[in-house]
Structure 1
């Protein structure tokens, strides 16, 4: 009887895992296609780089605000209700793209999209903790989740490119995502999610999230993730613009540079669990962050031909940093606080994703070329490497992770 119940619980968890993977895949299709859409927007609405970057930073700002102010809902209402709220709002925003043609109308819809993703992600990140037996499995699951996100990040830009080549509006990407989202809503509603096991009787509220903002471990992981995100989004937001008129020796690589980047990032995330089982996560973070910094340094030092090769290559080394840091940061806290801490981390993640490309666009406008924005991204990469070095040498959160493991 016990064996049958264990098998049933295992099957339920596997279904919930698969649903979560598909949800991250869907969101990536829209969010990571921005780099391909931005050149089209610049042409269609006669925008500067700073103005066009709003198409990226608008949803990111609202993801940040949603994570901060609504992240506690995942702990208060439960993961399932929170995820369904996020999915429903996302589907509504996607379908509304068919109703207008104004750039500012699109920005309004992207604000709704960002709010929806923030609600969903805090619920989903809390859920991953619920279905993970320990911190190591949590990191492995997060890498698989982000692997599916990486695949979605490949599919989204490919769909937009195909639509534009065929003379069809990029807006159909959002229409397709809306249909996909409705299907996931139905499946998520029918799925049996695990009950949230509380170890404390404390009332869960927004005030708890703001208290979390003062926690040095939540802030430390948020800083590291923020630097990583600023380094990563530089690639998929501005690399297509950097390589737009490239006519050097690697034209074929330049044409598919963003696809290569997303492919390497996705492959690396699927391999994440295997690598983390063989090496300490502190070592992996150090060596991979160093490799990213060297890729950026080489791209900026040796010219556009080097950038065509090294910037997409950096995706392989970026693969495990975000999901591993995210899972370790969340695992430092009790399970009933996972939604709140995920909201705090998501706030800084999205804020960095918004401000990084915006600052790069401003620097590019000031100096007359987007490559100057990549000098700023290179600085972010080296700061991330410095934090990884400190983590390798001092391991400041090690005692918390060991305590949660037991």
Structure 2
């Protein structure tokens, strides 16, 4: 089975959803200004997105093998194409919650189907890990491209909602590409008994799965701690102007993408555990060094990019040291499970990842309010250390795992 068109389709699917998921902050600001809604009502768009992802993952992801991977992706792409055109055409706040509910449920379908399809088109662990890192790297590129699309459209004096014509076009292209791309799902469809909500919950009988979800929870806690609060750190510690501080977040996202692209190449050539432990060690040393150096920092206001302190650039590159961990550990657990169980496992991945992101953002915010933003950034050292310690038993459990054994 030729896989290049399937791979291209998966890349485009992830790129489209990265744009949709990572521009909610822009949309929140625009609906406040254009539709006169309150900040609380506008902020509810985050809840519409996150809750629909969680609910969709819990109730739908495990049934994707029965419905079909290709069919699930086609339904998701068609839904967001129609929703995007709706936002572009209809003026009014009410259409935006509809958009984000559609995005959330559709993303649950897309992620479950994409992760599961990777298992069908790869031949071994190294190839699987390589493709997973490449997919997640493409997702980060989409996260960077989304705000740029909005910036260009608004810079040309069009309304922000006209950006969704671009999104609808990309989504429609992804739909048409997938429509003409064959995918052999016979290996999964021959085991319908391994799909369903009960099967997703039954995955938790294996110690490997428990250790994995803990690792995923810790990773997303680290990533979101930085992703949410790094602009605040840059403003309060380095004195960066707010637009520069926001722009530096793109450096962080870009460093995560770079890490995943590099690991996509290296994963077939070097063992994953020593690599990830080394990268986590680098993240730990970088955070400690930056925080010790900036203790009592009296930065002046920085309102131009050329005046950004080198330490701010270095701190924003933290994503390079952690970015490859998430797709790598996901690849390990999916490779150990039978392919019909991949979609159910993806449901657990999405749910526990959401919990980790919420926890990390909340804890850093709480410490910032109680002490200082500078002190709050010592917190990620805890999940970094715990994650490094958990990766060791995770590899041992994975090496001896057999799905026929309840004890893993």
Give the structure-1-normalised TM-score: 0.82
Q: Is 1:239 matched with 2:230?
A: yes
- 1:5-404 to structure 2, matched below 5 A, reads 9-10=1-2, 13-34=3-24, 54-98=44-88, 99-102=90-93, 106-198=96-188, 200=191, 202=193, 204-240=195-231, 242-243=233-234, 248=239, 254=245, 256-301=247-292, 302=294, 308-357=312-361, 360=364, 366=369, 371=373, 375=376, 378-392=378-392, 395-400=395-400
Q: 1:203 to 1:320 in 2, by over 3 A?
A: closer
Contact 1:218 1:345 in 2 (8 A): no
Q: 1:393 to 1:247 in 2, by over 3 A?
A: closer
1:327 CA drift (Å): 0.9
Distance 1:17 1:388 in 2: 31
Q: 1:394 to 1:248 in 2, by over 3 A?
A: closer
Q: 1:249 to 1:258 in 2, by over 3 A?
A: closer
Contact 1:57 1:358 in 2 (8 A): no
1:297 CA drift (Å): 4.1
User: 5+ unaligned residues in a row in structure 1: which ranges?
Assistant: 1-8
Q: 1:319 to 1:92 in 2, by over 3 A?
A: same
User: 1:112-142: per-residue Cα shift (whole Å, max 9, x none)?
Assistant: 2111101111011100011010122110110
1:337 CA drift (Å): 0.8
Distance 1:393 1:368 in 2: 35
Q: 1:189 to 1:249 in 2, by over 3 A?
A: closer
Distance 1:367 1:171 in 2: 39
Give the structure-2-normalised TM-score: 0.81
Comparing 180-189 and 200-209, the one that deviates more? 200-209
State how many pairs are aligned: 388
User: 1:291-328: per-residue Cα shift (whole Å, max 9, x none)?
Assistant: 33444444555257687334421121232111111111
User: 1:345-397: per-residue Cα shift (whole Å, max 9, x none)?
Assistant: 12212333345445655666x5598x37x82x653453143222332367332
